[in-house]
Structure 1
């Protein structure tokens, strides 16, 4: 493989923004990919994948390169040289790579890879937390899987088409997909591609949504004609799935504290042909109180650490802090206690997170069931998904029913 100067410069610029300026990796990569209109898909793929790979293994590569944060540009080139050497890429005769100790890099990699927190490139506190909550065997396998590139999974919009027709339509646009067992609405891309440019996407035939995330709406057991509330709707991936399961019949109230996210949901809903969604920004407790005892179904896709989706957000390893985990658990308790009051007698709710930590998942549900309001509920079933077992994102979901 031959390195091209303009592509390498783009990678270095991106790493500077992520590591030194605190920008989000996905936003940085989106900007980088628009940098040069002459770049083909292979060029863009190189920039995106290299940036993400170096972000994933920042700690390991920095240790091997013997550099410390904040990384000035020479340090970033040294880290890049480590990445290239470990990939077996011959370094060109550029000033940035002068005196790169190729043999030493491989030796250091072998030596440091014996220690999990260095091999998988995670902060000490995160490694200790994962070990404490999941145990050595499970945590070791899980964090290794969380460093692998995630597959691109689509959810067919059954309001407009079906899986077979979507597969055929994408094949006509040179995108090959395959069915996934136990995921009724999912198609997996055989090779990565920019699906957002397809006619099928523009026509609202699908959304990009991981296979684990797709199980949440199914778990809620919705029926056409119901009144359903999604209280942490965000940009609405699960809201749109609920709408398709309800065949556009009934009412979905999509709520979020961020109005900007609901505006994105409005655009997506239009493209999806969904018209049974009402959007409500949560600015105070008034809209919540108005819905007390009214919902047939309630989805709480709770704010969480996101430790189940590090494959998609590798920079979260470096942005997360232990205090955030402690604070988010308190938020989860409050959200469960406050929003569960919307469920009518005999109604059901799902509490879900994209975390793999029992303290954010099973333990939160157990704690809720002993609370004042939680005593009115019973746990019907729950499901824990670990990436190293499923091949998809780490997730948790619990279905609870309110007593009559």
Structure 2
């Protein structure tokens, strides 16, 4: 493919991402499968352009006069991010072959605009309401957090299944496979891969045989802080893909009972092979939208782990396309859903038992505001303080973020029912 054809392909992919809800990596992979003529170097260059544009979308749209179509964003990236001259950009837009058509008068004019006085939220690459939230939460550190949240590359974190192998053994196995794992600073069972290009973890024997799982260190930490221990009855109330289900199962060490529930049967079905690969067990339960299906566990659980549905704003460094899908009304809807789920889940907690509220969000409305609403409605649920591995002392609400802890963004609030 010519450089111009790669630009046209990137613009088309960006339009497909904007028009749907699929993650960027899924759309890019589908494009590659449908266009077999594109070689590996072509696909890599196109993907790099797409992600580069997604992380700077706000800035590029501003430069291009508010346009958000793939063509405009790619044109803007050539001038703003690549530093090409107008003549060089025009040479890539001749309309010949499979390349993009010639620049319009408006496009040429927009390329002359300087971005030295961008509004703060535009420069951050995030929606304005998200930036205002970051300012409220992180104060003077908001800009650093925004940059980390939209960083070009996020590491691959692995959780070692110590029921299958030791951390040291897996570390040696990965090195023998040509990788360079580093131990994670906060999780005692975590390994981090930062090499480029990222390896295909699912092809490794360590993965296929259940010795490792892909899990961000922040996710590993909130699982550990929840306090699951052997002999407990633990409910993973919103099991989703099952990553934290496996982490909770590992904490039980084969002693106790783990129930993983969700409102979508397909998600539960996808968890079963992961459990089998890891050599652990869980009772998978399909529940209704009103929480029905777990009545036999009312007042029985030692720990109810609520990894609530959220915006996923804490994972934007992995999914930059999601930043511009965030809308205030959707965050408000999620807040109401989280409060309702917490109310349902609390019924399962026995006297002296605990409830862990977790999100992978950095937004106050989904974190502190939901916790505040739950506490106001449940005075019998006492906040419990825990000490994260990086903290000087205990805290009742724990935040993790790319800037502060070099993890995805997470929030944890832990509660104990009065005995």
TM over 0.5: same fold? yes
Structure 1 residues 169 and 338: CA distance shift in structure 2, 3 A? same
Give the Cα–Cα distance (whole angstroms) in 2 for the partners of residues 170 and 26 of structure 1: 25
Contact 1:380 1:401 in 2 (8 A): no
- Give the structure 2 partner of residue 361 of structure 1: 367
Question: 1:365-384: CA deviations, max 9, x gaps?
Answer: 3332232x442434333311
Unaligned runs of 5+ in 2: 95-99, 387-396
Could you say which residue in structure 1 is the equivalent of 2:392?
none
Q: In the alignment, what sits opposite 1:394?
A: 409
Paired position in structure 1 for 2:394: none
Q: Hey, what's the Cα distance between the residues in 1 that align with 2:224 and 2:401?
A: 18
2:81 paired with 1:78: no
* Cα distance, 1:74–1:385 mapped onto 2, change above 3 Å: closer
**Structure 1: how far apart are the matches of 2:410 and 2:84?**
32
Query: Paired residue for 1:29?
Result: 28
State the secondary structure of the residue aligned to 1:344: strand
Deviation string for 1:278-300 (max 9, x for gaps)?
Answer: 11111254323221111111101
Contact 2:401/2:409, CA 8 A, preserved across alignment: yes
Could you tell me whether the CA contact under 8 Å between 1:65 and 1:82 is conserved in 2?
no
Match of 2:59 in 1: 60
What pairs up with 1:231-380 in 2 under 5 angstroms?
A: 231-274=237-280, 276-283=281-288, 284-371=290-377, 373-380=378-385
Report the Cα distance in structure 2 between the residues aligned to 1:156 and 1:10, rounded to whole angstroms.
Answer: 39
Q: Distance in 2 between matches of 1:183 and 1:303?
A: 24
| TM-score (normalizing by structure 1) | 0.87
* 8 Å CA contact retained: 2:331, 2:365: no
Name whichever of 100-109 and 171-180 sits farther off. 100-109
Coordinate RMSD, CA, aligned: 2.9
CA contact (8 A) 1:202 1:271 kept: yes
Equivalent residue, structure 2, for 1:181: 185
Deviations 1:255-283 (A, max 9, x none): 11111111111121122222x20111112
Find the aligned partners of 2:241 and 2:16 in 1 and give their Cα distance.
25
Q: By how many angstroms is 1:186 displaced?
A: 1.0
Number of the residue aligned with 1:230: 236
Q: TM-score, normalised by structure 2?
A: 0.84
- Structure 1 residue 319, shift from structure 2 partner: 1.2
SS of alignment partner, residue 304 of structure 2: strand
- Write the distance in 2 (CA, Å) between the matches of 1:390 and 1:285: 34
**Structure 2: how far apart are the matches of 1:265 and 1:79?**
42
Q: Secondary structure at the match of 1:345?
A: strand
The alpha-carbon deviation at position 4 of structure 1 amounts to 4.2
Partner of 2:143: 140
Q: Which has the higher mean CA deviation after the structures are superposed, 332-341 or 197-206?
A: 197-206
**TM-superposed deviation, 1:166:** 1.6
Per-residue deviation, 1:198:
1.9
1:210-229 to 2 correspondences below 5 Å: 210-229=216-235
Q: Does 1:123 align with 2:122?
A: no
1: CA distance between counterparts of 2:382 and 2:399?
Answer: 20
Alpha-carbon distance change, 44 to 99 in structure 1, aligned in 2, over 3 angstroms: closer
1:97 to partner: Cα distance: 7.6
Ranges in structure 1 where 5+ consecutive residues have no aligned partner: none
* Kept in 2: contact 1:153–1:210 (CA 8 A): yes
